[in-house]
A and B are shown apart, each in its own frame.
Chain A
Amino acid sequence: MIDALVFLQFNSWKNRTLQRFRRLKQPKYLIGAIFGAAYFYFYFFRFLLRPAHGGQPNAPGWTGQWAADLPWLLETLGALALFTFVTLGWVLPQDRAALVFTEAEVAFLFPAPVSRRKLIHYKLLKSQIAVFFGTLILTVMTGRILQGGVAPFRVASWWLVLSLLDLHFHGASFARTMLLDRGISTWTRRLVVLGLVGGLVIWVGTWAWQTMPAPPEFNGNGDADRANLKYYVRQLTQFGPVPYVLYPFRLVVKPYFATNGWDFFRAIWPVGILMVLHYAWVVRANVAFEEASVEASRKLAERITAIRSGRRQPLEGTRKKSRPPFQLGPSGRPPVALLWKNLIAAGQGFTLRFWIMMLLIVVSVGFGVAPQMHRANNFSMVLGPLAVGLLAFSFVMGPQIMRQDFRQDLPMMDVLRTYPLPGWQLALGELLAPAAILTAVQWCLILFAILAFPSLGKGKLSFDLRLALGFSIALLAPVLNLVSLIIPNASVLLFPGWFHSGPQAMNAGIEATGQRIVFMLGQLLVLVASLLPAAILVAVAVLAGKALALPLSLTIPLAAVGATLIMAVEAALGLWLLGRLFAKFDLAAEGSGN
């Protein structure tokens, strides 16, 4: 029976791979593959293939004693990370044990005369594909960061770590189900696990409090501070309870740092024993996972469908209603209806989770900039430039992040096509929401920057000048956002097959990465070209103002008015072209979401 399952897995993989190779006959995939391969080679593999530096890890900036201490530090960090992963595996999940199968696997395998244990074996075998892929990615990534070492040992070590984690999480899910069957609720389990972890932390803390010297204070001397910190961490992790707590986890990560065959062999056998124990734990578990698996496979199928149709949003059932931004009347300009619709869609992104994330970011940034503020003794020295940085980020990345336009509606393109609206109105309506959101955010940042930006010495950025600059950027922002949004939307309509949300999205290879790189470069080029006339005008105006001895605080806003007019004409032209593209857009084209 297991032969049939191996056959299924092998042939699925083989056919998928062949399909990828076959489609390289199409230029768009071939070009994407070339760019993707070049990216992976130059960014990752080049470092992996580079000759080892004496078999020692050699991260940039680590020299001398630091380089010698690096394996120990990384081993400790690795063990700690593994400890955290395993703990979270027992705390976070709330579902019953569910081996996730595809819907086809559920339909074929569950009614078939296949024992539960064989299904587990099949699942473990199948998860090896993900483990191998993960091994490859982590090897090249860590190879990029940590050059040197012995590549085959690193590959084998990553495989061991990921396989063991895979087995552990399967075993943990079965154990969770058994606890639930015995009346131990999810929250009871969480409290017990967190209680145990908390107990360990208290134990370590108490030991450190009683036996260790106080944590080192930072004196602003980089090397001395680092040396003190290193010494403290070493004492903490080499003595007392920490080595015992981290011992099994340290065993698992140890093979990665082997520098020769003998070291690797000595490090690997304890991991082998752990693996055998885990395997026995998983295959001997007699837990009914089928019902939960059917539900999990349904969710998986929905997620795949969502991605294939270009949606990035959560599944239908998990959506929350969001309040409309304003009351939409039945009469008036139709594009406003699209703005209204897309603002509602955008509103769904502002969930509790989003605000918690924002709060975390603000707190993190606050902690990050607090020392600088303290040193600068001036909040504006940090907050003003921070606002300007965020403003620049919003202009460059905003149109890529805010996608409540054709990119979001690509799967609904056939519905949009039935609307009785001229193409340019549809294009305008589709782009209004992201443009409005970005502009609103940017205006807030501009206001903040005007007020908070420091008046640097010699009055170079006086309040007048800040006001003039702020006014100019605020004036330009709406049209600049529109132009920036037209470009990716036009790309979607021009090359729907290249926009990676079509049926190939779930079966993307390196060509997908390559396609994204080509797209990004193309978009950047077009954006620069569209900015050029306005930039030339501003430059000429500033030079003329200088010649006429006009103050910058007057020249810049005047130039901005001209630049805005130029950009507005470009935006109007772009919208008209986008409308034409939409009218000619053939939904039968590959990757259009149909």
Chain B
Amino acid sequence: MIAVEGLTKLYGDFVAMSELSFTVQPGQVLGLVGPNGAGKTTTLRCLAGIIPPTRGTIQICGHDLARAPVAAKQELAFFTDEPRLFEYLTVAQHLAFTARIYQVRDYERLARPLLEELEIADKADKLPGELSRGMKQKLVIACGLLHSPKAIFFDEPLTGLDPLGIRRMKDSILRRAREGAAIIISSHLLHLLEEVCSHVLIVKKGRKVIDGTLAEIRRIYAEQHGATNLEEVFFHATGEGGVPPQNP
């Protein structure tokens, strides 16, 4: 479970995120959406323990990220939009390294089906420089899922994937959720989010605009503003696309 309470991140005088609170239960997939500069990536980076929040608390599977960072990080995985890999390690070496860091004792048994699922099993001896962007993305996912995280954060996970890759990624996300992971996805591809998310959190200029289940939010905006899909909800909620901001 992911529980966020009063998350605030300041960069000097600039408020990147202010007093954000929400929870994601096991099995739920939360879509974190907002215009550019809304604070989505900052939020995810705070949740992953990459940058410290200025105020607020973050609980990952019951572990306070500030007080027990090691236990909390053992339960999470964060996937950035740009695959971040060590250029001098091969695919197989990345997995061995990740397994040691996360102490995944039977990693070889877990890695094989993961690599096959992601269709990079035949690339074990390749360096990242020899892989396409999509392949790199898949390797990052394989490394991230190796320790069976309970809290997973995706920042634009579909960037660079081909249609089949996108389909597989969606299936993979849904399967992880069914297996009990709490998932947060940040993306601008609203129609794709509609297919995988159970919940939505819309942010703008570092503040929460609305959150709730996808069905609930769609119903509210449909009743009040005639919005029929997440894209229209987004425009109404954020005031983007020439539509004035309208909160329910």
Inter-subunit contact A418/B48 (CB<8 Å): yes
Within 8 A of A (CB), among B25-75: 45, 48-52, 69-74
Inter-subunit contact A584/B52 (CB<8 Å): yes
* Alpha-carbon distance A415/B125, docked complex (angstroms): 22
Q: What number of A-B contacts does a CB cutoff of 8 Å give?
A: 98
Q: Cβ of B106: which chain A residues have Cβ within 8 Å of it?
A: 330
- In the complex, the chain B residue whose C-beta lies closest to that of A313 is B87
Is A29 interfacial (CB-CB < 8 Å)? Answer: no
Within 8 A of B (CB), among A282-329: 311, 313, 315-319, 321-322, 324, 328-329
User: Contacts A344-B93, A587-B50; is A420 near B88 (CB within 8 Å)?
Assistant: no
Inter-subunit contact A330/B51 (CB<8 Å): no
Taking a contact as CB atoms closer than 8 A, the residue among A317, A318, A330, A344 that contacts B105 in the complex is A330
* Alpha-carbon distance A336/B72, docked complex (angstroms): 21
Chain B window 87-125, contacts with chain A (Cβ cutoff 8 Å), 1 for yes, 0 for no? 111100100110111111111100000000000000001
Taking a contact as CB atoms closer than 8 A, the residue among B73, B93, B105 that contacts A324 in the complex is B93
* Alpha-carbon distance A336/B107, docked complex (angstroms): 17
Is A243 interfacial (CB-CB < 8 Å)? Answer: no
Q: Cβ of B89: which chain A residues have Cβ within 8 Å of it?
A: 341, 344
Inter-subunit contact B84/A587 (CB<8 Å): no
Is B22 interfacial (CB-CB < 8 Å)? Answer: no
User: Contacts A316-B127, A317-B129; is A412 near B100 (CB within 8 Å)?
Assistant: no
Q: Cβ of A344: which chain B residues have Cβ within 8 Å of it?
A: 88-89, 93
Q: Cβ of B128: which chain A residues have Cβ within 8 Å of it?
A: 316
What is the distance, in angstroms, from B62's C-beta to the closest C-beta of chain A?
A: 15
What is the distance, in angstroms, from A472's C-beta to the closest C-beta of chain B?
A: 35
- In the complex, the chain B residue whose C-beta lies closest to that of A333 is B100
What is the distance, in angstroms, from A142's C-beta to the closest C-beta of chain B?
A: 39
Name the residue in B50, B89, B96, B130 with the highest tally of chain A Cβ atoms < 10 Å from its Cβ: B50
Q: Cβ of B11: which chain A residues have Cβ within 8 Å of it?
A: 588
Taking a contact as CB atoms closer than 8 A, the residue among B52, B76, B100 that contacts A336 in the complex is B100
Inter-subunit contact A345/B88 (CB<8 Å): yes
Is A586 interfacial (CB-CB < 8 Å)? Answer: yes
What is the distance, in angstroms, from B103's C-beta to the closest C-beta of chain A?
A: 6
* Alpha-carbon distance A319/B129, docked complex (angstroms): 7
Chain A window 481-504, contacts with chain B (Cβ cutoff 8 Å), 1 for yes, 0 for no? 000000000000000000000000
Inter-subunit contact B71/A420 (CB<8 Å): yes
Inter-subunit contact B84/A412 (CB<8 Å): yes
Chain A window 263-294, contacts with chain B (Cβ cutoff 8 Å), 1 for yes, 0 for no? 00000000000000000000000000000000
Q: Cβ of A311: which chain B residues have Cβ within 8 Å of it?
A: 87
Inter-subunit contact A586/B51 (CB<8 Å): yes
Chain A window 330-368, contacts with chain B (Cβ cutoff 8 Å), 1 for yes, 0 for no? 111010110011001101100000000000000000000
User: Contacts A316-B128, A420-B70, A420-B73; is A337 near B100 (CB within 8 Å)?
Assistant: yes
Name the residue in A313, A322, A420 with the highest tally of chain B Cβ atoms < 10 Å from its Cβ: A420
Inter-subunit contact A328/B100 (CB<8 Å): yes
User: Contacts A316-B87, A321-B127, A348-B88; is A341 near B74 (CB within 8 Å)?
Assistant: no
- In the complex, the chain A residue whose C-beta lies closest to that of B92 is A324
* Alpha-carbon distance A344/B103, docked complex (angstroms): 20
Taking a contact as CB atoms closer than 8 A, the residue among B101, B108, B125 that contacts A337 in the complex is B101
User: Contacts A330-B105, A331-B103; is A418 near B76 (CB within 8 Å)?
Assistant: yes
* Alpha-carbon distance A315/B127, docked complex (angstroms): 12
What is the distance, in angstroms, from A310's C-beta to the closest C-beta of chain B?
A: 12
Is B80 interfacial (CB-CB < 8 Å)? Answer: yes
Q: Cβ of B88: which chain A residues have Cβ within 8 Å of it?
A: 313, 319, 322, 344-345, 347-348
- In the complex, the chain A residue whose C-beta lies closest to that of B125 is A321
Taking a contact as CB atoms closer than 8 A, the residue among B52, B96, B105, B129 that contacts A315 in the complex is B129
Is A419 interfacial (CB-CB < 8 Å)? Answer: yes
Is A200 interfacial (CB-CB < 8 Å)? Answer: no
B interface, how many residues as a size bin? 35 or more
What is the distance, in angstroms, from A336's C-beta to the closest C-beta of chain B?
A: 7
Inter-subunit contact A341/B49 (CB<8 Å): no
Q: Cβ of B107: which chain A residues have Cβ within 8 Å of it?
A: 330
User: Contacts A344-B89, A418-B78, A583-B69; is A328 near B97 (CB within 8 Å)?
Assistant: yes
Inter-subunit contact B97/A337 (CB<8 Å): yes
* Alpha-carbon distance A544/B40, docked complex (angstroms): 66
Inter-subunit contact B102/A420 (CB<8 Å): yes
Inter-subunit contact A418/B70 (CB<8 Å): no
Q: Cβ of B69: which chain A residues have Cβ within 8 Å of it?
A: 420, 583
Inter-subunit contact B84/A422 (CB<8 Å): no
- In the complex, the chain B residue whose C-beta lies closest to that of A347 is B88
A interface, how many residues as a size bin? 35 or more
Inter-subunit contact A417/B86 (CB<8 Å): no
Is A506 interfacial (CB-CB < 8 Å)? Answer: no
Inter-subunit contact B70/A421 (CB<8 Å): yes
Inter-subunit contact B50/A340 (CB<8 Å): no
Inter-subunit contact B100/A418 (CB<8 Å): no
Q: Cβ of A317: which chain B residues have Cβ within 8 Å of it?
A: 129-130
User: Contacts A316-B129, A328-B96, A344-B93; is A420 near B45 (CB within 8 Å)?
Assistant: no
Inter-subunit contact A421/B100 (CB<8 Å): no
Is A464 interfacial (CB-CB < 8 Å)? Answer: no
Inter-subunit contact A414/B97 (CB<8 Å): no
What is the distance, in angstroms, from B90's C-beta to the closest C-beta of chain A?
A: 6
* Alpha-carbon distance A531/B48, docked complex (angstroms): 39
Inter-subunit contact B100/A334 (CB<8 Å): yes
Inter-subunit contact B74/A420 (CB<8 Å): yes
Q: Cβ of A421: which chain B residues have Cβ within 8 Å of it?
A: 70, 101
Q: Cβ of B80: which chain A residues have Cβ within 8 Å of it?
A: 414
Name the residue in A322, A344, A345, A415 with the highest tally of chain B Cβ atoms < 10 Å from its Cβ: A415
* Alpha-carbon distance A422/B102, docked complex (angstroms): 12
Inter-subunit contact B86/A412 (CB<8 Å): yes
Inter-subunit contact B97/A586 (CB<8 Å): no
User: Contacts A322-B88, A418-B50; is A330 near B100 (CB within 8 Å)?
Assistant: yes
What is the distance, in angstroms, from B175's C-beta to the closest C-beta of chain A?
A: 22
Inter-subunit contact A319/B49 (CB<8 Å): no
Taking a contact as CB atoms closer than 8 A, the residue among B51, B72, B76 that contacts A587 in the complex is B51
* Alpha-carbon distance A415/B69, docked complex (angstroms): 14
* Alpha-carbon distance A311/B86, docked complex (angstroms): 11
Q: Cβ of B51: which chain A residues have Cβ within 8 Å of it?
A: 417, 586-588
What is the distance, in angstroms, from A342's C-beta to the closest C-beta of chain B?
A: 9
Q: Cβ of B45: which chain A residues have Cβ within 8 Å of it?
A: 414, 587
What is the distance, in angstroms, from B244's C-beta to the closest C-beta of chain A?
A: 32
* Alpha-carbon distance A341/B11, docked complex (angstroms): 33
Q: Cβ of B90: which chain A residues have Cβ within 8 Å of it?
A: 321
- In the complex, the chain A residue whose C-beta lies closest to that of B71 is A420
* Alpha-carbon distance A2/B100, docked complex (angstroms): 59
* Alpha-carbon distance A359/B52, docked complex (angstroms): 49
Task: Jot down 18 A-B pairs with beta carbons below 8 A, ordered by A.
Answer: A316-B127, A316-B128, A317-B130, A318-B129, A321-B90, A324-B93, A328-B100, A330-B96, A330-B103, A330-B107, A331-B105, A336-B100, A418-B48, A419-B101, A420-B72, A420-B74, A584-B52, A588-B11
Interfacial residues, chain B to chain A (CB-CB below 8 A): 11, 45, 48-52, 69-74, 76-78, 80, 84, 86-90, 93, 96-97, 99-108, 125, 127-130
Nearest first, the 8 A-B pairs at minimum CB distance are A316-B129, A337-B100, A420-B73, A420-B74, A330-B99, A417-B50, A345-B88, A414-B50
